[in-house]
Amino acid sequence: MIDPFGRTVDYLRVSVTDRCDFRCVYCMAEDMTFLPKRDLLTLEELDRLCTAFIDKGVRKLRLTGGEPLVRKNIMSLIRNLSRHLNSGALDELTLTTNGSQLAKYAGELADCGVRRINVSIDTLDREKFKKITRWGQLGKVMEGLDAARKAGLAVKINAVALKDVNEFEIPDMMRWAHGEGFDLTLIETMPLGEIDEDRTDQYLPLSLVRRRLEEDFTLTEIPYKTGGPARYVEVAETGGRLGFITPLTHNFCESCNRVRVTCTGTLFMCLGQEDAADLRAPLRASESNELLSQAIDEAIGRKPKGHDFVIDRRGGKAAVGRHMSMTGG
């Protein structure tokens, strides 16, 4: 699939649920109204949709949420999708998780051909973790990380940089992650969805974080890529990799190879734009994939050059109304 700007789209991120067992302050309001189950694609429909994209050239598939591992019977979908790894049609099947369910599922994920996962952890302080996630327990996540390691899964820690919350913990988080053999990626908070906080209070530019880190660490640019938007450096003092995802201070649109599908079958060609395509209707209109394939082609033909993310200084309002949990991590 080639978009209007000549970029090959070979990476699909699919939200399997908008539900989550956390309520992170930068992602959701605490009192969320989730979609009725009837609006969600069934697991069979998700399999069919993913397969249609793989047939069109997608080589990397990431399952997201909400929290993907809270979707009932999610492992049956993952096991079914693993056939594309076995056939060679798919290079990688992975997921982004908050880690709460990893102790239960890590071994089975590895058995299904998942080789690496992203785990979202924004602080190593138990009380602060509870405050950020509202409902999360750091100890349970740490048990999940241990299970992932024992299962042979490579782990990348994702941390959203939050002003006055975890900004001065970042060096310690990096030392911890690298000491555990994990990569660490820092992410700027994105203006998605109405939340209970003022985004201008949350926003911490990673350009500032990097300048601070360079006072104590040697950061060397490296060409390492995982297929996502992170730009990586190697940290001489820890021997580990550190990634930066900077949708506001330094966007990554020129190399975007990704599209996202929500759990209701809505295709977003850009995380930071509202334009979308309904894939549920053509999916359900016919047992063949002809209508679905046409809808995908038409949507890829509208993929924009880039997003318009900006933190609204007049009130910290969302640039895009939908929550991250709806679009998929």
Determine, yes or no, domain membership for 3: no
CA 309 to chain centre: 17
Determine, yes or no, domain membership for 321: yes
Full domain range(s) for residue 147: 11-327
pLDDT digits (tens, 9 = 90+) for 8-39: 999 999 999 999 988 888 887 888 888 898 89
Determine, yes or no, domain membership for 6: no
So what's the pLDDT on residue 319?
45
Residue 297 DSSP one-character state: H
Q: Kindly write down the DSSP assignment for every residue of 115-146, as one continuous string.
A: -EEEEE---S-HHHHHHHHSS--HHHHHHHHH
So what's the pLDDT on residue 314?
45
pTM of the full predicted structure? 0.87
**E strands, 65-199, in order:** 92-97, 116-120, 154-161, 183-188
Provide the token pair at 254.
């020129």
Kind plus residue range of the DSSP H or E element containing 221? strand 219-221
Determine, yes or no, domain membership for 4: no
Q: How many domains does the chain have?
A: 1
Report how far apart the first and last C-alpha atoms of the chain are (Å, whole number): 22
Determine, yes or no, domain membership for 1: no
Whether 213 has a pLDDT exceeding 80, the answer reads: yes
Query: Domain holding 143: CATH number?
Result: 3.20.20.70
Determine, yes or no, domain membership for 135: yes
Lowest mean pLDDT among 44-48, 54-58, 190-194, 247-251: 190-194
CA angle 23, 102, 88 (to 5 degrees): 115
pLDDT average, residue stretch 190-207: 66
Determine, yes or no, domain membership for 188: yes
Measuring CA to CA, which residue among 266, 269, 294, 298 is closest to residue 280? 266
φ and ψ at 41, to 5 degrees? -65, 140
Round to whole Å and give the CA distance between 133 and 30.
Answer: 9
Round to whole Å and give the CA distance between 237 and 176.
Answer: 12
pLDDT digits (tens, 9 = 90+) for 55-74: 999 999 999 999 999 999 99
Determine, yes or no, domain membership for 283: yes
Round to whole Å and give the CA distance between 235 and 22.
Answer: 31
